[in-house]
Amino acid sequence: MPVPGGTAGIADVRPPIRALLIVLMLAAGIAGCHGGDPPAAPPATTAPQQPAGDTPAERAASLAASLSDEDLVGQVLMPYAYGASATEVTPGNRAGNQRLAGVDTPAEMVARYRLGGLILVGFSADDPTSQNQVTTNVDSARQVRELTTGLQAAHAKLGAGSAPMLVGTDQEYGVVTRIKSGVTALPSAMSAGAADDPRLTEAAWRAAGTELAALGVNVDFAPVADVLGDAGSTVIGSRSYGSDPAKVSAQVAGAVRGLQAGGVAATLKHFPGHGHTSGDSHDALPLLTQSRAGLDRGDLPPFTAGIDAGAKLVMSGHLDVRALDPGTAATFSRKVLTDVLRGQLGFEGVVVTDGMNMAPAKRWPAGEAAVRALNAGNDLILMPDSLPQAYDGLLSGLRGGALTKERLVEAVTRVLTLKFELAGKPAPGMSTVGSAAHREAADRLASAAVTQLRGACGRAVRGPIQVTAASGRDTARGWLVDALRAAGVQVVESGGTVVHLIGYGDEPADLRAGATVTVAMDTPYLLARSDSPVLLATYSSSQPSMAGLAAVLAGKASPAGRSPVEVSGLPRSSCAARAG
């Protein structure tokens, strides 16, 4: 790592880099003493080291220099586990953990593999990421808190136990929302893009970060920094803030500031941008075909904005970036991660892979894939396809020369620095979860997002109203019915003015001919095929979004949003002040 100015000493380098330089030199000496014979694995009850130094980076450097090879390898692994508890599992979850890692419980997984982190997983029907979410351990807010407490207790017994365990999840809000029960529901990223007010986004994400921190989740794999292209990538869709790089940048920065103010590390994904692809990286390697200038202009700005806002992590994408390293997934490309992300964008935090149980990462055995990912510049291996193979492969790579000690220690130092930074933040109480103030922040953002794309702006829909929905939309339909009735609107089961709801994955056949109002609760593209005289979009089927929609339908609020993506044949808004 070059020293600024070429002649400066270590003392002149910024503290995080200085600590990293120190530990790399220490690691080189330690590696030289091993003589090719690795030390035996320390017992699971090894007392945690007490790192020296004042700053998180200095403490991380001290601790990393003291760890065994086995502990170093464990710190860069972040698998999933089966079970809603760290120590008590059902027979089915026990069998799942045995298949995945040869252990019975999540706590045993942490102990055996010296794990630095664990990701909490889950899925729902409207989830484009469900292909690699093979189980769920996020049943409720209180259950998540108990699970994370148990995981931290298991991690505290490790050699790196003086730093907290990283517990992450994909809490993007919208179609990718892992923890749903008992927490405040935010509208989707595209909803925030339609509201186009980063202050509202920041306030809502501060509420989200506070609640996640209260549950013991300290890393959120959000926000999505992908800019949607003309193809309207279906795997990204409403997970994106929109198609305008500048507006997306402002939204991403707001989400990062809010989330981290709540005490949770934010993750920018999927670097260098998944929005201009038509493929799904869960089952294939999508092509990113922009020129280098196109990447700089259309994909990288939100990542730059998020980094400038202080984002702690960046997630590498399983993407074939033709302008940078054709034929190689960005996850495994030094040109993408080291040259561009570290060199050009100046990112100094933790780089985490996308799920290594996704098809592009399974091109190699799990151990070889983990080594390749670290050598490319990743610091954290997420969801390895086989935990034993990934763990053993990293150890073998370290001892056989495929992975240098310096690169491993560099990665661990970044991971530990993040952990010590998070350790300095007090955990909010459970009373903050679902609080009135948090619900108000979500409501403000959702209400500001409601967009009218056809019809006279701001007129109440003449009642009584019949609410219909495409198949599978019963929950959102119920929330809208309740909100309409609370607003004084008569709702009937048949007859009346038809308001029809469509959502994620719906097709033209899911539209209702003759509906007076059609509402898009996900991306708005399908509205171009509707014959309804009034078209509205909420971009989200959350309860706050349905409340905001009800206020517009009742004539109690104006649809203030503007579509953050182009819909064929329709304006961004049919309201004069927001049209264009």
Residues 418 and 459 in one domain: no
| Residue 220 confidence (pLDDT) above 70 | yes
Among the three residues 432, 458, 484, which one is the final residue of a domain in this structure? 432
Among 47-56, 193-202, 547-556, 560-569, the range scoring the smallest mean pLDDT is 47-56
* pLDDT (mean) for 505-529: 96
Count the helix, strand and coil residues of the chain and give each as a percent rounded to the nearest 5: 45, 10, 45
Q: Identify the domain containing residue 16 by its residue range.
A: 10-67+186-432
Q: Would the pLDDT of 9 be above 80?
A: no
H-type alpha helices, 299-404: 301-308, 334, 366-376, 387-400
pLDDT for 49:
55
The pLDDT, as a whole number, for residue 521 is: 97
Both 343 and 386 in a single domain?
yes
Which pLDDT does position 233 carry in this prediction?
73
Question: Same domain, yes or no, for 497 and 400?
Answer: no
Residues 556 and 509 in one domain: yes
Which two three-digit tokens encode residue 518?
């059609």
What pLDDT is stored for residue 501 in this prediction? 98
Report the distance separating Cα 438 and Cα 184, nearest Å.
7
My answer on whether 498 and 421 are in the same domain is no
User: Do 403 and 458 have their domain in common?
Assistant: no
* Any domain includes 428: yes
Residue 10 has pLDDT above 60, yes or no: no
Residue 40 has pLDDT above 50, yes or no: no
pTM score, whole prediction = 0.89
Instruction: Answer yes or no: is pLDDT of 378 > 70.
Output: yes
pLDDT of res. 413: 98
Give catalytic residue positions. Answer: 282, 354
How far apart, in whole angstroms, are the C-alpha atoms of residue 119 and residue 279? 25
537 and 415 share a domain? Answer: no
> Is the predicted pLDDT of residue 406 greater than 50, yes or no?
yes
The mean pLDDT value for 131-148 works out to 85
pLDDT at position 485: 97
405 and 454 both lie in a single domain? no
Give a yes or no: residue 540 inside a domain.
yes
Confidence of residue 179 (pLDDT cuts 50, 70, 90): very high
Mean pLDDT of 413-431: 94
Residue 34: the pLDDT is: 35
Q: Is the N-terminal amide bond of 464 cis, ω within 30° of 0?
A: yes
Asked, for residue 175, whether it belongs to a domain, the answer is no
Look at residue 178 and tell me if it is in a domain: no
| Torsion angle, alpha carbons of 269, 270, 276, 279, to 10 | -130
Across all residues in the chain, what is the average pLDDT? 89
Do 493 and 423 share a structural domain? Answer: no
- Which DSSP state fits 164? P
Give the span between the Cα atoms of 226 and 237, in whole angstroms.
10
More confident residue, 310 or 286: 310
pLDDT at position 202: 98
445 in a structural domain? no
Total domains in the fold of the chain: 2
51 vs 457, residue with greater confidence = 457
Local confidence band at 359 (pLDDT 50, 70, 90 cut-offs):
confident
Which of 400, 432, 464 is at the close of a domain?
432
pLDDT of residue 2: 34
Yes or no: say if 390 and 353 are a contact pair by the CB < 8 Å rule.
Answer: no
In angstroms, the CA 313 to CA 209 distance is 15
Strongest mean pLDDT among 116-130, 265-279, 497-511: 497-511
% of residues, the chain, pLDDT over 90: 79
The radius of gyration of the chain from alpha carbons, rounded to an integer in Å, stands at: 24
Q: What is the mean pLDDT of residues 61-83?
A: 97
Q: Is the pLDDT of residue 142 over 60?
A: yes
CATH number at residue 534: 3.40.50.1700
Q: Give the lowest-confidence range in 355-364, 504-513, 549-558.
A: 355-364
Average pLDDT over residues 87-93: 94
Residue 177 pLDDT > 60: yes
CATH number of residue 45's parent domain: 3.20.20.300
Are both 239 and 316 inside the same structural domain?
A: yes
CB burial of 218-238 (b: ≥16 within 10 Å; e: otherwise) equals bbbbbbbbbbbbeebbebbbb
Tell me: pLDDT of 216 over 80. Answer: yes
pLDDT band for 277, please (50, 70, 90 cuts). Answer: confident
Q: Specify whether the backbone of 495 is left (phi greater than 0), alpha (psi in -120 to 50) or beta.
A: left
Q: What spatial distance separates the first Cα and last Cα of the chain, rounded to whole Å?
A: 48
> Residue 174 domain-assigned?
no
Same domain, 417 and 455: no
279 versus 536: the higher-pLDDT residue is 536
* pLDDT over threshold 90, residue 426: no
Q: pLDDT confidence of 128, banded at 50, 70, 90?
A: low
313 and 247, same structural domain?
Answer: yes
Reported confidence tier of residue 472, pLDDT bands at 50, 70, 90: confident
Contact 272, 331 (CB under 8 A): no
Note whether residue 18 is domain-resident. Answer: yes
pLDDT at 458: 77
Q: Is residue 97 part of a domain?
A: no
The predicted structure's pLDDT at residue 578:
61
What percent of the chain has pLDDT above 70?
87
Domain boundary (376, 405, 432) is at 432
